[in-house]
Amino acid sequence: MEPLARTAPPLAAPLNELRFRVFDVVATILILPFALVLSSLIALAVLADSPGPVLYRCRRVGYRGELFEMVKFRKMRRDAVGSALTAYEDERFTPIGKFLSVTRLDELPQLWNVLKGDMRLVGPRPEMEEFVSHYPHEYEEILSVRPGLTGMAQLEFFDESRVFGEAHSHPRFYSEGILPHKIELDLQYIRNRSLRADIAIFLQTPVLPLRVAVRKLAVVVAAQPRGHLVTYVGVALCALLLLVTFSTQT
């Protein structure tokens, strides 16, 4: 494949970009203590789960067509081969990798990319070079801003691998069936972006992993025998009663 042509679209107003950068740095610093604790737990789980490195580095196309290394927690076996795209319940996933995939917690290390300035907290999703080359005109505009850890396309397609199943792992299906919709959302974001919209997108992002966790819990609960459910509910009610009693006495 021919190298991606480097484009230099008009730069956004420096003052406006400074506001976005200040938001990224301040918000990242505020969530960093929680992120470090969670990242430490995930790192230990990855190490205990399977042999191999904790982190996975993948090359993505960033601001103005510059390539950079995006960091993720490793979610596949060390000897995994095949497409860089993943399917739902991909057989290459490690046990903890399946959890990281559905919750998107594998992307937590990208806060480092944000602090470095490769990415923003909110922006278009960084794509692989091979897919960017399929839509050069659209990406000339998309790459006029820095890619984001979250964004409109990321929220809309949060559960894409589950929705599209095995087809999601096929490059042609992704390029022709999914990517055009992501591009449309990315262009919509760029043409209407504002700090207020970024804050709204940023605040919506943590809700999605919780929603996935609740759905999975519902599936587990539904699979339990009726007698077990009655026992679980009884224990939960007793625990709640004890908690209320203790709180009123103190």
Q: What is the tens place of the pLDDT at every residue in 180-211?
A: 999 999 999 999 999 999 999 999 988 877 76
- pLDDT reported for residue 142: 96
- pLDDT reported for residue 9: 46
Phi, psi torsion values for 207, nearest 5 degrees: -70, -30
Q: What is the CA radius of gyration of the chain?
A: 21
- pLDDT reported for residue 103: 84
pLDDT less than 70: residues of the chain: 1-13, 159-169, 211-236, 239-240, 242-250
- pLDDT reported for residue 179: 92
pTM equals: 0.76
Q: What is the tens place of the pLDDT at every residue in 109-137?
A: 999 999 999 999 999 999 999 999 999 99
> In 3-state terms, what secondary structure has residue 93?
strand
Give the C-alpha distances (Å, rounded to integers) separating 103 from 59, 112, 214, 221.
Answer: 22, 19, 11, 19
- pLDDT reported for residue 227: 64
Which helix (H) or strand (E) is 234 found in, with range? helix 226-249
Q: Mean pLDDT, the chain, as a whole number?
A: 82
Phi, psi torsion values for 79, nearest 5 degrees: -95, 15
Q: Where are the domains of the chain?
A: 14-205
- pLDDT reported for residue 80: 82
Query: What is the torsional sign of CA 53, 59, 62, 67?
Result: positive
- pLDDT reported for residue 2: 46
